[in-house]
Structure 1
Amino acid sequence: MPALPRSGEFALIDRHFRRPPVSRNATVGIGDDCALLAPLPNEQLAISTDMLVAGRHFFEDVDPAALGHKALAVNLSDLAACGAQPLGATLAIALPAVDDAWLEAFASGLFALADAHACELVGGDTTRGPLTLSLTVFGSVPPGSAHLRSGASAGDDIYVSHAPLQGLGDARLALQLQQLARGETPSAAATLQALDTRLRHHLLHMTRVRLELPQPRVALGLALRGIASACADLSDGLTGDLGHILRASGLGASLKALDGAEGLLHACSPALRTLGNDFALDMALAGGDDYELVFTAPPARREAVAAAAARCGLCASRIGRMEPQPGLRWIDLEGRQQTLAAQAFDHFA
């Protein structure tokens, strides 16, 4: 029997999102009412959903390949925080119109990252509307091995991950530089406007990749199984995402700007620090879109943390410790203590 003709929405899916199976995780993928995933034997499913809206989470003229990468990366970052192995993902996308060149580039960025993590696209939906992307990812983790926000203990060290020569706050700096170039007034406008134009362009060149092409720390999340006591991914800013761990664990924390081998300044990139240590620390504390891991571990596991990070080609900077007293305290570069608000970015605040 000849195949029925397909047009419109279904042709769009066939052209850009249907591929032969690329892993053994999905026994049934795109094309049925439901996908069928096969978790590893005796493991639990880890599931996370994120939505990206044009004008809110990304500029509408962003490179579509970078957008495809980031749309999946922000979800894989949640699996990394949980210590889960990716299995598959679904994509729901609203489009104002069909643009095949845009969709081809978007799909290429999405699939490049999906293939790197064996995370097969197994289903989803398309509709007409303002550009909106919603992905759900599925992962697998042995019972009792997941990193939960509630697992920290008083006395645990606090770490953040980052790549060498990169760090927290880079994505926020890139966003603010782009906003300034578009005629907007970001929070750091006064500092950035005082810079030489060539330096602003150089800093944007150095940091833009951190905003548009974040790298989910899946390998580190897996390497930290049995080492980390609690973990969260850094999507809405360090103080807010660490605050989730504090609330879930019923504890407080002290963070240090710099104290020998410890301190948040070690997690700031050389590019960011060219603007001054205080500016870099402000960006690192309050910035979003880092998609690194903030995690805790007992002091006795410091060598194990360092070894796990090194195996993944990453750094794990120790920035403070968990404390029984509630609240988040900050020890600045002069050794003065102040209280920080452990508040994450809120779309409805």
Structure 2
Amino acid sequence: MIPPALGEFDRITRYFKPLAAGFPGARGLRDDAAVFGVPEGRELVVTADAMVEGVHFFPDDAAGDIAAKLLRTNLSDLAAMGAEPLAYTLTTALPRTVDEAWLAAFTAGLAADQARFGIGLAGGDSVSTRGPITLSVTAFGLVPAGRALPRWGGRVGDRLFVSGTIGDAALGLEIAYGRLPGVHPAARAHLLGRLRRPDPRTTLGHRLIGLASGALDVSDGLVADLGHLCAESGCAARIDAAAVPLSDAARAVIGGDAVRLAQALTGGDDYELVFSAPESATADLMALAAEVGVPITAIGALVDGPPGVVTVRDAQGAPLTLARRGWDHF
């Protein structure tokens, strides 16, 4: 006999209340809303991101991977503002075909990342839908009052830096679509892993306060997102393609292929931090990178020019022609 499907409140009790147990402001998910304060001298940073089946993840992706990516994309936004994670709310719109095994794996993925990143569930909503799975997180972080990292703080002459490596997720997406056959299994696993489970730079972001002048995370592609920083800062940017950090897996796939290189520079889902800083901060940034174990690489500079324009130069100093700047939903 097939057991009856759990109702809404039974689902909340079995799968979501345990996620809220470690955050007092959630009130055990027994009320209509969470209640929590902000410590003196701190401000609340709030961000929200949604994911839709067939747009942000494949229908056959593992539920634990979906949960991890959903939470980590929001944590990346907090890191880009210099905030440390505090709590999050979760809204799930699930078809009736989603079973308990999926829910169990999804909430287990959230639980693992809550423990890893030090964040707790504060509440949310659960509804049914006839459409694809749709998920949304609103994340809350804390930052010293008046010190949140802006996009608009860059100045002409500042150096540009990026954390980690760029382009892995974009190449992983090409693999997922079957457009990169013959990739070595180890490289394939690395690139798909970076697509499915990005690594938000939560240990780095809040440490950039006082060093970085402007910052954001790379979600829509390095060139596109850097363009946002430049537009808000009223300047242009120049980056050197050869300086952009690539993983060994990405280098093996790209080789000397200009099309694949362009995909790495303009593809989304890296969730690395790109930021500007004065030249004088370079030594401190390199020391910070070593301390927190997150590579930081100088890739170019902010320059005089039309606000928002990003020029990518090849090894000979000539501008690269890019078919697009990055991902755009519309």
| TM-score of the pair, normalised by structure 2 | 0.91
Q: 1:240 to 1:78 in 2, by over 3 A?
A: same
Residue 138 of structure 1 corresponds to 140
Residue 287 of structure 1 corresponds to 267
2:300 to 313, 320, 343: 320
1:206 maps to 2:190: yes
Residue 3 of structure 2 corresponds to none
The secondary structure found in structure 1 opposite 2:152 is: helix
Which runs of no fewer than 5 residues in structure 1 stay unpaired? 1-6, 181-188
Rounded to whole Å, the distance in 1 between the matches of 2:92 and 2:47 is: 16
Residue 99 of structure 2 corresponds to 99
- Contact preservation (8 Å) 1:175, 1:211: yes
1:124 maps to 2:141: no
Shift of 1:205: 1.3
Residue 16 of structure 1 corresponds to 15
Alignment RMSD (CA, Å)? 1.8
* Paired letter, 2:249: A
Q: 1:298 to 1:277 in 2, by over 3 A?
A: farther
Shift of 1:344: 3.8
| Equivalences for residues 84-233 of structure 1 within 5 A | 84-97=83-96, 98-129=98-129, 130-162=132-164, 167-180=165-178, 189=179, 192-193=180-181, 197=182, 199-233=183-217
Q: 1:278 to 1:296 in 2, by over 3 A?
A: farther
Residue 246 of structure 1 corresponds to 230
| Equivalences for residues 327-342 of structure 1 within 5 A | 327-338=309-320
1:237 maps to 2:221: yes
Rounded to whole Å, the distance in 1 between the matches of 2:286 and 2:323 is: 29
Rounded to whole Å, the distance in 2 between the matches of 1:155 and 1:340 is: 24
The secondary structure found in structure 1 opposite 2:17 is: coil
Rounded to whole Å, the distance in 1 between the matches of 2:220 and 2:153 is: 21
Which runs of no fewer than 5 residues in structure 2 stay unpaired? 1-5
Q: 1:82 to 1:29 in 2, by over 3 A?
A: farther
Shift of 1:77: 0.4
Shift of 1:92: 0.3
Q: 1:342 to 1:251 in 2, by over 3 A?
A: farther
1:299 maps to 2:249: no
Task: State the aligned residue count.
Answer: 317
Residue 63 of structure 1 corresponds to 62
Rounded to whole Å, the distance in 2 between the matches of 1:58 and 1:335 is: 37
Residue 184 of structure 1 corresponds to none
Rounded to whole Å, the distance in 1 between the matches of 2:151 and 2:322 is: 19
Rounded to whole Å, the distance in 1 between the matches of 2:66 and 2:320 is: 38
- Contact preservation (8 Å) 1:29, 1:35: no
- Contact preservation (8 Å) 1:79, 1:85: yes
Shift of 1:31: 2.1
Deviations 1:238-274 (A, max 9, x none): 011111101110110101123xxxx11xx11111111
Shift of 1:73: 0.3
The secondary structure found in structure 2 opposite 1:321 is: strand
Q: 1:231 to 1:29 in 2, by over 3 A?
A: farther
Q: 1:292 to 1:156 in 2, by over 3 A?
A: same
Q: 1:342 to 1:142 in 2, by over 3 A?
A: farther
Shift of 1:117: 2.0
Q: 1:159 to 1:173 in 2, by over 3 A?
A: same
Deviations 1:33-92 (A, max 9, x none): 110122221211100000000000000110111111111000000000000011100000
Rounded to whole Å, the distance in 1 between the matches of 2:95 and 2:247 is: 38
| TM-score of the pair, normalised by structure 1 | 0.86
2:288 to 308, 313, 318: 308
Residue 274 of structure 1 corresponds to 252
Identity of matched residues, %: 41
* Paired letter, 2:206: L
Rounded to whole Å, the distance in 2 between the matches of 1:323 and 1:203 is: 36
